[in-house]
Amino acid sequence: MLGAARRSGRAMKIAIIGAGWAGMAAAVEATTCGHRISLFEASHNLGGRARSVPGQLPDGSPVSLDNGQHILIGAYSQTLQLMRQVGVSEKQALLRLPMTLRFPDASGVQFPRWSAPLDALAGIVGARGWRLADKWSLLRLAGRWQRQRFQCDATLSVAELCRGLSPRVTRELIEPLCLSALNTATEHASAQVFLRILKDALLGETGSSHLLLPRVDLSELFPHAAARWLTLHGAELHLGQRIDTVARQGGQWDIGEQRFDAVLLATSATESVRLLEQSAPGLPVSVAKSIAEWTPVCRGLRFAAISTVYAWGAEATLTQPMLALRSTTSEISPAPAQFVFDRGQLGSAPGLLAFVVSASTQDRETLQAQVLQQAQMQLGLSLQAVQTIVERRATFVCTPALLRPAQRIAPGLLVCGDYVAGPYPATLEGAVRSGVSAARAVALDVYDVKGTNDTNKESTP
């Protein structure tokens, strides 16, 4: 497909602002379509909220950490396809495991390596520590979801969707899955978005439910490989260059002294609002009006934090690369982490563990102390803190019937990111799909407008 636009005479010059996973995905897709890409990133790092950061073990040894411990699942088809395209080997970069939500006492769910959906059925039937009534409550409700084609009233919360499940299934399966996928508590989370994730994972191709745990840091998992691929294919990458405004002249877009056929914003919601509002006074009336309609929707999003507590112990090791933890907000014995990862089993320093706290609200010091205590109580491990990373605006709060910002603002001005309207929550796959979709849409958008000569009718305020 590479060069298709050039062969058709439709090659465009596109500016992409932001080099997170959405921006990198958009750049790869647009380059694949034969367009000329200039990528602008305010920082000197690629990857946005899913990148590597330097760390140091208690003995002073350097170690590569991530600004948040992430996992993928087999249903993340677009992410996996782009990784392969830019030269990332899944076998080397990811550890593929059957869907597993096991606790330190070995209770919980683990799917066998069977074809879908038999793997899910067998995993539920064979769940350790669950009574027959627990399993039947889930099988009965899952059957209803399937008969309804994983569709429900858009106003339903996950808690309302799952009424009728036993307390144990809710506590040990639904709540951890909802927090890990939507970063939103079940009583506030969108049931429809949750069902979409379940459908893709459980009823997709065989392997869709698999967990994919990164063996390399997040920067190498995709952004750095994508940057090398883009450079090889003629794209221009401008790191450390912050864009404050865009202008429109004669149907094209100006960034500094460069002119582009289209601009694709791949920045955070906050940064996109800032850039658009600073640009609006100098833009045509129709574009400024569209911005005035788009930014309030974006401002209406609420965000939640995800924290990752890295800790180390000389003899620290887990029975599996990832374990679920029993999380509680009890004032007597708080246990905030929902999952723990053995980074030593994933190619990092032996003894290094990563504890993940979704929808976290505590300050860094309190959270770190509580997690270390939780490690002692639930894992029997005495650990030293390495680093605690709090990503305060990690994801938008994925509530029922949430209005998310549209992809298109004006002719040749589009936005992508995990917060933009789409079927997925704020995940890596959501960001990648948004970037690919925007890259495909921008060319059609510009050529449709040029065909009607609407750009010649614009006026400035």
| DSSP state string for 94-124 | EEEE--EEE-TTS-EEE--S--TTHHHHHHH
| Residue where a domain stops, chosen among 377, 396, 415 | 396
Q: How far apart are CA 30 and CA 24, in angstroms?
A: 10
- Cβ contact 299:53 at 8 Å: no
Tell me the average pLDDT of the chain: 93
In a domain, 80, yes or no: no
- Pairing mode, strands 62-66 and 408-410: unpaired
Q: How far apart are CA 373 and CA 378, in angstroms?
A: 9
Residues 69 and 43 reside in one and the same domain: no
- The pLDDT of residue 271: 97
Residues 261 and 318 reside in one and the same domain: no
Helix (H, G, I), strand (E, B) or coil at 136: helix
Q: Which residue range forms the structural domain that includes residue 365? A: 52-74+213-217+303-396
In a domain, 373, yes or no: yes
Average pLDDT over residues 377-382: 97
Average pLDDT over residues 253-281: 97
Residues 112 and 183 reside in one and the same domain: yes
Residues 258 and 205 reside in one and the same domain: no
- Cβ contact 360:336 at 8 Å: yes
In a domain, 127, yes or no: yes
- Categorize the per-residue pLDDT at 456 as very low, low, confident or very high, splitting at 50, 70 and 90: very low
Residues 110 and 192 reside in one and the same domain: yes
Residues 194 and 122 reside in one and the same domain: yes
Residue 201, phi-psi category: left (phi > 0), alpha (psi -120 to 50), beta (remainder):
alpha
CA 303 → CA 93, 167, 392, 400, distances in Å?
Answer: 30, 28, 8, 15
Residues 297 and 404 reside in one and the same domain: yes
> Which among 318, 357, 325 has a CA at the least distance from the CA of 171?
325
Split into its structural domains, the chain has a count of 3
Question: What is the distance in angstroms between the CA of the first residue and the CA of the last residue of the chain?
Answer: 41
Residues 227 and 368 reside in one and the same domain: no
Average pLDDT over residues 156-170: 97
Residue showing tokens 């788009």: 294
Residue 85, phi-psi category: left (phi > 0), alpha (psi -120 to 50), beta (remainder):
alpha
| Residue where a domain stops, chosen among 209, 237, 262 | 209
Q: How far apart are CA 275 and CA 173, in angstroms?
A: 41
In a domain, 91, yes or no: no
Half-sphere exposure of 165 (CA within 13 A, CB side): 23
- Categorize the per-residue pLDDT at 10 as very low, low, confident or very high, splitting at 50, 70 and 90: confident
In a domain, 94, yes or no: no
| Residue where a domain stops, chosen among 182, 209, 236 | 209
Residues 285 and 409 reside in one and the same domain: yes
Q: What is the DSSP letter of 172?
A: I
In a domain, 365, yes or no: yes
Residues 357 and 423 reside in one and the same domain: no
Name all contacts of 296-302 with Cβ < 8 Å and 24+ positions apart.
297/403, 297/404, 297/405, 297/406, 298/269, 298/272, 298/273, 298/405, 298/419, 299/273, 300/403, 301/269, 301/396, 301/397, 301/402, 301/404, 301/405, 301/419, 302/396, 302/397, 302/399
In a domain, 66, yes or no: yes
The pLDDT tens digits for 50-106 are 999 999 999 999 999 999 999 999 999 999 999 999 999 999 999 999 999 999 999
In a domain, 83, yes or no: no
Q: How far apart are CA 410 and CA 263, in angstroms?
A: 10
Which helix (H) or strand (E) segment holds residue 177: the answer is helix 175-182
Q: How far apart are CA 339 and CA 179, in angstroms?
A: 10
- CA angle 251/253/257 to nearest 5° reads 130
- Categorize the per-residue pLDDT at 448 as very low, low, confident or very high, splitting at 50, 70 and 90: low
Residues 59 and 109 reside in one and the same domain: no
Question: Domain containing 21 — which CATH number?
Answer: 3.50.50.60
- Categorize the per-residue pLDDT at 331 as very low, low, confident or very high, splitting at 50, 70 and 90: confident
> Which among 390, 340, 334 has a CA at the least distance from the CA of 365?
390
- Categorize the per-residue pLDDT at 8 as very low, low, confident or very high, splitting at 50, 70 and 90: very low
Residues 114 and 201 reside in one and the same domain: yes
